């Protein structure tokens, strides 16, 4: 059942681990599952398992209330946040939560990543906001994450890490990569002493182009 989706999560988890976007057992990955009967389920990574050792059989399927439908592991401790995002934001079928270094540094500093470079603006949809702080796994963190993700494909979680969302697993991955890359650029630019920002008008033109004309459409 949903073997292809399970493979996507296992493969992506290993990729995130190898690229040092996640370390050890921290961070989590999920996908929305569309069932033939119209029901929505959620495939999530297990809690507290090292990603380089996680197999398809370790993944967990839960329903909208967070109850386990399939699997023998405990689901990720950030399950509430994943479910809240899926229920609150349309057209999102994949979520990745990372603890990558530079993105987390910006999250700890409480610094929004401004509109600086085209790839970030085009894919994320604007600046990268910092969600208000709440304890990991809490209802409050889930609410704050949804708030920070409004009209965006990524956000920072204060004193915690980053979260990327997308229609596909690859889209969510791109969100996380661009958040980390943009955080590095911001830190380096601050060291150099000056940041030239994109105008709101130019940013909107870039987003419109990316959404409607970029690539092989």
Please tell me which residue in 36, 50, 78, 201 is annotated as part of the active site: 78
Mean confidence (pLDDT) of the chain: 94
Question: Would you place residue 11 in the very low, low, confident or very high pLDDT band (cuts 50, 70, 90)?
Answer: very high
- The pLDDT tens digits of the residues spanning 14-57 come to 999 999 999 877 899 999 999 888 789 999 999 998 888 899 99
DSSP one-letter string for the chain: --HHHHHHHHHHHHHHHHTTSS-TT--EEEEEEE-TTS-EEEEEPBTT--GGG--GGG-EEE-TTS-EEE-SSPBPTTHHHHHHHHHHSTT--EEEEE--HHHHHHHHHT--B-S-SHHHHHHH-S-B-EEPP--TT-HHHHHHHHHHTTT-SEEEETTTEEEEEESSHHHHHHHHHHHHHHHHHHHHHHHHT--PPPPHHHHHHHHHHHHHTSS--
User: What is residue 216's predicted lDDT score, i.e. its pLDDT?
Assistant: 62
Q: Is 78 assigned a catalytic role?
A: yes
User: pTM value?
Assistant: 0.94
Domain boundaries, the chain: 3-212
- The CATH code of the domain at 3-212 is 3.40.225.10
Question: Would you place residue 215 in the very low, low, confident or very high pLDDT band (cuts 50, 70, 90)?
Answer: low
User: What is residue 43's predicted lDDT score, i.e. its pLDDT?
Assistant: 98
């Amino acid at each position: 059942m949903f073997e292809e989706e399970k493979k996507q999560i296992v493969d992506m988890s290993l990729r995130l681990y190898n690229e040092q976007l996640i370390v050890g057992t921290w961070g989590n990955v999920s996908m929305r599952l569309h069932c033939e009967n119209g029901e929505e389920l959620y495939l999530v990574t297990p809690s507290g398992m090292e990603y380089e050792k996680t197999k398809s059989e370790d993944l967990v399927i839960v329903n909208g209330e967070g109850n386990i439908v399939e699997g023998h592991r405990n689901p990720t401790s950030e399950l509430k946040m994943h479910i809240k995002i899926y229920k609150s934001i349309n057209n999102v079928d994949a979520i990745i939560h990372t603890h990558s270094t530079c993105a987390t540094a910006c999250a700890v500093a409480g610094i929004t990543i401004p509109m600086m470079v085209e790839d970030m603006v085009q894919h994320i949809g604007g600046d990268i906001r910092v969600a208000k702080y709440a304890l990991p796994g809490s209802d409050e963190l889930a609410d704050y994450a949804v708030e920070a993700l409004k009209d965006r494909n990524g956000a920072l979680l204060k004193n915690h890490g980053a979260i990327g969302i997308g229609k596909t697993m690859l889209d969510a991955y791109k969100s996380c990569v661009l958040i980390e890359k943009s955080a590095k650029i911001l830190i380096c630019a601050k060291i150099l002493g000056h940041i030239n920002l994109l105008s709101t008008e130019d940013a909107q033109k870039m987003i419109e182009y990316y959404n409607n004309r970029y690539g092989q459409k």
